[in-house]
Amino acid sequence: MSGIEKGDRRLRVAYRLVANRPVAIRTFHRRTADGHLRLCRTEAAWGGAVLEAMLGMLVGAFLIIRVEELRKPRLALRMIAPHSADYPEGRPAKQGHVVTLEAVNEVLPRWARWMSRNAAQQCRALVTFHHMDGQNIFGRSMPVKWVRTPEALPMPIHLPDGQLFGLLVDPERIMREPRVDIAPGEASELDVAVRFDNESECYGWNMDSYKSTPPWRNPTWRLAAGRYLVRVQVFSGDQSCTGLFRLINDVPADAFRLAPALTTDKVM
C-alpha cells in the first residue's frame, strides 16, 4: 500500500488480485473539522485495461515504423539494351557503342498503394571494374554519369551572322558530381562504358571523359578486349542497391554488351 497526503486530503492505493487479475484500489479521504479522515470515494483500476492500453500503444508504434519503412525509396538496377550513336564531323569518333543500366525506384506493393513511396533524392552511383577472378582492375571506383545530366561539353557562341565566335566552358558541368532524383515507379539511366568506331578496347564513361586526352578515351578507365565483371552501386541517403554484371568486350563492336553475372561470380 502507498499513499499521498496533501493538505486535508489523502490518497491511498492498494493492489489486490481479483479473479486472478491485478486491480489497483484507490481510496480518497478528506480530513474533517475534528481532525478525522472521512472516506470520500473508492476507485478500482483493472490491470488488464492498463495492459490493453500499453499493447495498443506498442501496436500503434509498430505500425508507424512499418509504414515509414515501406515509404522509403527502394532502388534496384536493371539491364537495358545497349545503343549506338553516330556523331557529326569534328567529333572525336564517328560512332559509339554504349552500355547502360537503369536505376529504378520501385513502386509499393499492391496492397500498400493507398499511400505513396518517397522519391529517391540526390542519387549518386559508383562503378568498379574487375577481372573475372574478382580482382579490382584500377583499385578504385568510378563516379558514373547519369544519362539525363548535361554533357560536360563547351557551349558554342555564335555571332548574329551565324559565325562561331568562341566556346564557353561551364565549370559547373565539369566539376559537379552528377546526381539525380528518381520518383517512385520511375527510372534513370546511367552510362557504364563505351566503345568507339572499330576499336577493340572500351572505356569507362563519366564526366571526366569529356576532358581526357585523347578526348572521350580516358586512359584512366581503359579496358582492353576481354571479359570483365562490373559492380554498380547506387546511393540515396541511407538507401542503396548493388548490382553485379558481366561486361562482354571480346566481340565485334555491335555485340558489345552487359550480361547478367553468374551466381559463382564474386568481386573483391
Mean pLDDT of the chain: 82
Average of per-residue pLDDT across 110-126: 90
Give the pLDDT mean for 181-207: 95
- Looking at per-residue pLDDT, the higher value among 176 and 187 belongs to 187
Q: What is the pLDDT of residue 249?
A: 97
Contact predicate 100/190, CB 8 Å: yes
SS (H, E, C) the chain: CEEEEECCEEEEEEEEEECCEEEEEEEEEEECCCCCEEEEEEEEEEHHHHHHHHHHHHHHHHHHHHHHHHHCCCEEEEECCCEEEECCCCCCCCEEEEEEEEEEECCCCHHHCCCCCCCEEEEEEEEEEECCCCCECCCCCEECCECCCCCCCCEEEECCCCCEEEEECCHHHHHCCCCEEECCCCEEEEEEEEEECCCCCEEECCHHHHHCCCCCCCHHHEECCEEEEEEEEEEECCEEEEEEEEEEECCCHHHCEEEECCCCCCCC
Of residues 220, 126, 214, 207, the one with CA closest to residue 170: 207
* Cis status of the peptide bond prior to 214, with omega within 30 of 0: yes
Is domain 2-70 given the CATH code 3.10.450.700 in the classification? yes
The predicted structure's pLDDT at residue 90: 81
What grid cell was written down for 91?
567529333
Residue ranges covered by each domain of the chain: 2-70, 76-260
pLDDT over threshold 90, residue 51: no
Residue owning grid cell 571479359: 227
Count CB-CB contacts under 10 A for residue 98.
Answer: 19
pLDDT at 10 (0 to 100): 52
pLDDT exceeds cutoff 50 at 6 = no
Contact 196, 217 (CB under 8 A): yes
- Average the pLDDT over 178-184 and give the result: 92
Q: What is the pLDDT of residues 60-91, one digit of tens each?
A: 888 888 888 888 999 999 999 999 999 888 88
C-alpha cell recorded at residue 93: 569518333
Residue 48: predicted pLDDT? 52
Q: What is the amino acid identity at position 159?
A: L
Instruction: Say whether pLDDT at 41 is over 60.
Output: no
Q: For 223-256, what is each residue's pLDDT tens digit? A: 999 999 999 999 999 899 999 999 999 999 999 9
Count of alpha carbons within 13 Å of 201, Cβ hemisphere only?
12
